[in-house]
Structure 1
Amino acid sequence: MASTRPEYNAKINLMSALGPVVYCGNMRSEFTGLVHRFINIFGEGKELLPHSSKLTGCMMSETTIQTCLYYVWKAIGRDPAEFNKTMIPAMLNHLPCGGSSNQLIHYMQLYKSARFCAYDHGKENHRIYGRSRPPDYPLEKVTAPVAIFYTQNDYLNALKDVKRLIKRLPNVVEDHLYPYKKWNHIDMTWGISARRLAHPAMLKVMRRCEAGGPQNGTKLATTVSPVKTANMTTVTVLKAVGT
């Protein structure tokens, strides 16, 4: 919204993006195959996976729970060590989230085109956009501070695509790649170690913004912190200059 309605940038103190799925060209999730099945069955403009039917269906038995989790892992990346079984009801209450089949169609368009652009209406594009192809979202207009946190085993979010997003945004105040090789799309939120290993970095940026910085247009400095444990690799963090 901040790209198409730039006046809203002034209302945002900080956008903390956890595994933001924007560019999809290098996505390795089997989500793409599942989307085709849903679209073929339901068509356009239909509600998919509403809360009540999704939760009831998945929680019927141990078999249905495991079946639902199988498809969740295929979509987001598997990390059994960080999976808290007591969170199954909460997780299946949110994953996969319900929505319109048009949202899934839009994601498929982004995946195939490797662009971040408006919905492709086909022959209606000329009437709606005044051009044959949908326009790219003008991310250079997103001047609000953005902190990006992401992981290495996120099937929805390839590192190459995240780096492309970071280059497009003009005011990234934190570029934080967590160094845990197996962390997936949800480990930053629901992983067993999330509170201890993921959340402190997010809170640090929030407190920094509360204290009066970083501001729009803040420059970035790169710090490289080597980590030497078995389940880690080197992490590169971009921090605001002067903090």
Structure 2
Amino acid sequence: MIGLAPICFLQHLKPSVASVIAATPVIDKVLQGFKKEELLSDNSLLRQLFQVLCTQKEIDYQKCGHGFSFALRGSDPDELEPEFLPELVAHYPTSTSRKNGVHFSQVALTEKFAQFDYGPLKNVAIYNAISPPNYDLGLVKMKIALLLGNNDGVLSIEDTEVLRYKLPNVVDYHILPYKKLNQLDFVWGRNMDKYLFPHIL
């Protein structure tokens, strides 16, 4: 298995991600209040706002990117050129479940890669324990390659090192040499045939 920009531990958060994590309880209550289980659905106001603003010629590429994307993912205008922005906003940001967002926040706040925390009473019913159990990464036996970049807005090299040493069969751990490489570049970077594909193949 090849993990591109793998995230399991969130102990060294960048400020922009820490802000989102801190706001998660409020976001969760708002979504529950509106009986919404999907975050950033295709028809959500935030997603539509992102798509409208970032396809206007008057809106600068950097303003759009830094306002909505680069702060969380990392900026790299050489790989993700302004002409590609309409294509990007047609597919990004993608939706996720409310529960997944809360779980991501739990992993960051507890500094544990554990199953979902339903609260003590429900945890006892589900896990037979007050706290959710940690995922046992020692049980992952397949060969794994972990590939990451230096300019990622979400993951940190330190957290990926933790993952590296908890997995028993990491056969390749590689920080790609291109210094601006971020999460979006792995999917949409225009020069990945130079930086990424040769390493995978």
Establish whether TM, by shorter chain, passes 0.5. yes
- Map Cα deviations across residues 203-224 of structure 1 (whole Å, 9 max, x no partner): 2xxxxxxxxxxxxxxxxxxxxx
1:211 maps to what in 2? Answer: none
* Structure 1 alignment gaps of length 5 or more: 1-14, 204-243
Q: Which amino acid aligns with 1:161?
A: D
1:42 correspondence with 2:31: yes
2:124 maps to what in 1? Answer: 126
2:165 maps to what in 1? Answer: 167
Contact 1:29 1:76 in 2 (8 A): no
User: Within 2, Cα distance between the matches of 1:196 and 1:167?
Assistant: 28
Select 1:184's aligned residue among 167, 182, 185. Answer: 182
Contact 1:25 1:114 in 2 (8 A): yes
User: Within 1, Cα distance between the matches of 2:27 and 2:86?
Assistant: 23
- Map Cα deviations across residues 87-125 of structure 1 (whole Å, 9 max, x no partner): 323322343220111111101100011111100111211
User: Within 2, Cα distance between the matches of 1:169 and 1:94?
Assistant: 32
1:100 correspondence with 2:92: no
Select 1:25's aligned residue among 2, 8, 11. Answer: 11
Select 1:90's aligned residue among 81, 87, 90. Answer: 87
- Map Cα deviations across residues 64-87 of structure 1 (whole Å, 9 max, x no partner): 985465221111112222222233
Q: Higher mean Cα deviation, 152-161 or 20-29?
A: 20-29
Contact 1:18 1:148 in 2 (8 A): yes
2:49 maps to what in 1? Answer: 57
**DSSP 3-state at the match of 1:42:** helix
- Map Cα deviations across residues 182-237 of structure 1 (whole Å, 9 max, x no partner): 2212222212321222111112xxxxxxxxxxxxxxxxxxxxxxxxxxxxxxxxxx
User: Within 2, Cα distance between the matches of 1:181 and 1:68?
Assistant: 19
Contact 1:29 1:155 in 2 (8 A): no
2:108 maps to what in 1? Answer: 111
1:156 maps to what in 2? Answer: 154
Higher helix proportion: 2
* TM-superposed deviation, 1:169: 0.8
**DSSP 3-state at the match of 2:173:** strand
Distance verdict in 2 for CA 1:110–1:38, change over 3 Å: same
1:11 maps to what in 2? Answer: none
Select 2:77's aligned residue among 76, 80, 93. Answer: 80
Number of equivalenced pairs: 189
User: Within 2, Cα distance between the matches of 1:149 and 1:93?
Assistant: 26
Contact 1:29 1:77 in 2 (8 A): no
1:135 maps to what in 2? Answer: 133
Contact 1:140 1:169 in 2 (8 A): yes
User: Within 2, Cα distance between the matches of 1:90 and 1:67?
Assistant: 14
Over aligned residue pairs, what C-alpha RMSD do you find?
Answer: 2.3
* TM-superposed deviation, 1:159: 0.4
Identity rate, percent:
26
Contact 1:51 1:93 in 2 (8 A): no
**DSSP 3-state at the match of 1:157:** coil
* Structure 2 alignment gaps of length 5 or more: none
User: Within 2, Cα distance between the matches of 1:144 and 1:194?
Assistant: 26
Structure with more relative contact order (C-alpha pairs < 8 Å, separation 6 or more): 2
For normalisation by structure 1, the TM-score amounts to 0.70
User: Within 1, Cα distance between the matches of 2:92 and 2:68?
Assistant: 10
User: Within 1, Cα distance between the matches of 2:182 and 2:146?
Assistant: 15
Distance verdict in 2 for CA 1:128–1:137, change over 3 Å: same
Q: Which amino acid aligns with 1:111?
A: A
